[in-house]
Structure 1
Amino acid sequence: MHLSALYRFPLKSAMGESMPSLQLDALGVAGDRRWMFVDAQNGRFMTQRTFPHMSQLQARWNASGGLSLEAPGMPALQVALPEPDQALRGVIIWRDTLRVPDAGDEAAVWGSEFLGKACRLVHVPEDRARYIEGNLNDDEKVGFADGFPLLLIGQASLDDLVARVGRPLEMLRFRPNLVVQGSEPYAEDSWTRIRIGGVEFTLAKRCARCVITTIDPQTGERSADREPLTTLRSYRQGEGGILFGQNLINHGSGELELQVGMPIEVLA
């Protein structure tokens, strides 16, 4: 088994970027889901669930931590990384509330025009991140990802789903960070610990899937037949919802790097 693809999602619910390698830090993938648009009125997070055209928003993270934004009909915008204690704004993501730096008025105007709703762009520095779901360990945190730092999916699992649905489905519908080649379909369901290179991961919880999987990442349109959720519900319904993929927690950060092609060892 080996890593066949790596993805990073700098802005929550925007386009992902395919990467040949990924650097890991204390919050998972460096630069992954550290930015988020929130409702200007109540601070609640904004995603493709309500704004499916976010799938057409391209956000690229740069080495200085800033963000480059592009979207259909919009001018490109460079957003600087805000100071850690600059213009703190209260935000809500699921049941968590936190105060994080606001990226300023220019980014807010840009996002509001594209999304069609008044919003603000915010960034989460490491020391303001949330504890992961269940607080499994006092030093394990997550940025703006739904609940865990990373997501893994086996390519064979997607291939099996595609055969059941009867039409092609892009892996990016499921927004994984790591894709595994060489395992049996849904083999990742039974793993609890793996090692890739010098990094060990805990597979913390199977991932419950939502309506975002029905949005075509190329067009931003929702499938009229609610696929692949309709098919997944017929055989992947479990405790917590419709399950596909595994949430991961990485142990260690610093100079740790993942590269496409790295072998994967199942430890437990």
Structure 2
Amino acid sequence: MKLAGISFYPVKSTAGHEVTEAEVQPWGLAGDRRYLITDERGAVLTARQEPRLLACVPVLDGGVLTLTGPHAEPLTVVPTAAMSTVHMGGVAVEVTDCGDAAAAWLSGLAGRPVRLKWLDDPTRRPVNPLYGRPDDRVSLADAFPLLLTTTASLARLNDWIAETALELGEEPRALPMRRFRPNVVIDGVAEPFAEDEWKRLRIGEVEFRVTKGCDRCVLTTVDTETYRKGKEPLRTLARHRKREGKVWFGINLIPDLVPGTFGRIAQGDPVVLL
């Protein structure tokens, strides 16, 4: 098995970037989901509610974030000193406001008042203690530092989607991996969904613990080109991958790093189960 793809998402629920190598930090890939968007009430806003957020392409250069999109000129983000609180998974997290200019830029894209927030200190948010250790941390991802998927599982899912479409007289359409927004994609897995049983693995020089499978939401149904919601993959996952009232695709990881240390991964790195 080998590492076939690496992606990170500077702003939660906006466009991501595929890279050939990345630094792995205890709370996730460097630059991954350190920013998020809140609505007029201060609640976290995602592309589940506003799919047009996926049209925002955030670019990180030397730690400086620039927002690009189809509706306005690029904007360089300048965080302020103002702090506020967002709630994620029942945990209150202190974040820094990124100013009125960023708020206006994103509000123009979303079509409603929103603000951009920055997690200036990534050690601030703990992982759910049911699945992690006391010193485990996560940035602004939904729950865990990294999400892993495999090409074998996507191929099987796309076969199932084609079967469903033919049964219903619809045009089959394979889904790209970016619908699932993984951080790492593994190739060469012998069986689809073999990752369901993994407990520990090493990618290149970095070891990871598997916490749990990833239950999927309506965001996976949003076409990343048209920003319209469809029925897949949730319709087909519900036929083949439903348990505990949820549907599943991919697994969540926590890097097994000594506090204060980092690692690196690169495309082509060997993947070894431990």
Structure 1 length as normaliser, TM-score? 0.93
Q: Which amino acid aligns with 1:256?
A: G
How far 1:133 sits from its partner (Å)?
1.9
How far 1:127 sits from its partner (Å)?
4.9
1:26 is the counterpart of 2:21: no
**Count of residue pairs the alignment pairs up:** 260
Distance 2:211 2:134 in 1: 15
Match of 1:147 among 135, 143, 148: 143
Q: Partner of 1:228 in structure 2? A: 233
Distance 2:71 2:53 in 1: 13
Match of 1:213 among 220, 234, 242: 220
Q: Is the CA contact (8 Å cut-off) linking 1:101 and 1:122 kept in structure 2?
A: yes
Distance 1:129 1:61 in 2: 21
Aligned CA-pair RMSD: 1.5
5+ long unaligned stretches in structure 1: none
Q: Percent identity?
A: 38
Q: Is the CA contact (8 Å cut-off) linking 2:26 and 2:254 kept in structure 1?
A: no
5+ long unaligned stretches in structure 2: 163-172
Distance 1:240 1:194, change over 3 A: farther
Once the two structures are overlaid, the 10-residue window that deviates more, 122-131 or 189-198, is 122-131
Give the secondary structure class of the aligned counterpart of 2:44.
Answer: coil
Q: Is the CA contact (8 Å cut-off) linking 1:43 and 1:92 kept in structure 2?
A: no
Give the secondary structure class of the aligned counterpart of 2:45.
Answer: coil
Match of 2:264 among 249, 254, 257: 257
Give the secondary structure class of the aligned counterpart of 2:210.
Answer: strand
Distance 1:34 1:240, change over 3 A: farther
Distance 1:39 1:106 in 2: 15
Match of 2:186 among 180, 192, 199: 180
Distance 1:128 1:107, change over 3 A: farther
Q: Deviations over 1:107-144 (max 9, x none)?
A: 11111111111111111123553111235211111111
Pairwise mapping of residues 66-145 of structure 1 onto structure 2 (< 5 A)? 66-80=64-78, 82=79, 86-127=81-122, 129-134=124-129, 136-145=132-141
How far 1:238 sits from its partner (Å)?
1.5
Q: Deviations over 1:222-246 (max 9, x none)?
A: 11xx111000001111136111100
Give the secondary structure class of the aligned counterpart of 1:168.
Answer: coil
Q: Is the CA contact (8 Å cut-off) linking 2:71 and 2:108 kept in structure 1?
A: no
Q: Partner of 2:205 in structure 1? A: 198
Q: Is the CA contact (8 Å cut-off) linking 1:99 and 1:128 kept in structure 2?
A: no
